[in-house]
Amino acid sequence: LARAASGGGGSGGGLSAGEEAEGAEQPKKRPRVNALALLMGAARARPLVGWEVAEERISEELEAHLATWVLRERFFADESKKVRNFGLAWRQGGGHDLTAPFRPIPSELKGLWAAILPTLPSAIASMGEPNQVALKRYHLDGACHYAPHRSGDVLGYHCDCQFNDVRYVVGVSLLSDSSLVFRNTQKQVHKRIILQRATYSMVGEALTDWTHALFDIRRPGRLSVTYRLVCS
């Protein structure tokens, strides 16, 4: 885990057009592709507003520290658990429960937030600190070893605002590269690459008008830390 964290035929003999036998089957014409129309259609595709990836990634040392902490705390010793929530609890049936007792956010996750805060859009920084943090594993077993047999660890299409008013989502991708796929009700799709140790954020339309999913989980597995500000 520490190692993973650090780092043709001739021209003769054919009949001319006048020599073709009457009634001979003619080759089907291929439909003409209007390249200009395709380009214009692509230009009209709705942009993914509200999505950003920070230019600066967290350090390898911080990534290794977080991975070691997850292993030491045995957050995923229970093989059935895919995610651990801190701050607001997840309500059975969907959504974050603003009335349940607040679960303390560990100092390691507060420290990570402090480290990435200067790299985030100013609009997010001005909204305040997150009140919900999720730690999730992808293709990792209880000892944080690569476990590709855990096929249920993918993240299907969903909207973070389905049950709550979520003002922002900020994520940090650990251990491997990955990608998020966005789609909207017009069946438009955007794919965004997330490099290992990168920080990404979603606000506004990226949260409310698009769903997103993550399917490509690469060796040696993935850990994600996701911060949310849930208002109602």
What digits encode the pLDDT tens for the residues 25-67?
A: 455 555 565 555 444 444 467 899 999 999 999 999 999 999 9
Average pLDDT on 75-99 reads 88
Which of these, 186, 193, 187, 183, lies nearest to 213 by C-alpha position?
183
Give CA–CA dist 169/199, Å, rounded.
11
Give the residue, 35 or 199, on which the prediction is more confident.
199
pLDDT value for 15? 44
What is the distance between the alpha carbons of residues 191 and 157, in angstroms, rounded to a whole number? 13
Q: How many CB atoms lie within 10 A of CB 36?
A: 8
| The pLDDT value given to residue 60 | 98
Cα distance between residue 232 and residue 228, in whole Å: 12
pLDDT above 90 as % of the chain:
63
User: Can you tell me the mean pLDDT for 78-91?
Assistant: 90
Distance CA 202, CA 160 (A): 10
For 178-208, b where at least 16 C-beta lie within 10 A, e where not — what string?
bebbbeeeeeeebebebebbbbbbbbeebbe
pTM: 0.80
159 CB contacts (<8 Å, ≥6 apart)? 207, 208, 210, 211, 212
Find the Cα–Cα–Cα–Cα dihedral 62, 64, 66, 67, rounded to 10°: 160
18 pLDDT more than 70: no
Q: What is the helix (H) or strand (E) element at residue 169, kind and residue range?
A: strand 166-174
Q: CB-based burial of residue 110 (10 Å sphere; 0-12 exposed, 13-18 middle, 19+ buried)?
A: middle
What digits encode the pLDDT tens for the residues 168-188? Answer: 999 999 999 999 999 999 999
- Per DSSP, the three-state class of 230 is strand
Percentage of the chain with pLDDT > 70? 81
Q: Is the pLDDT of residue 225 over 60?
A: yes
Which tokens is 145 given?
């070893």
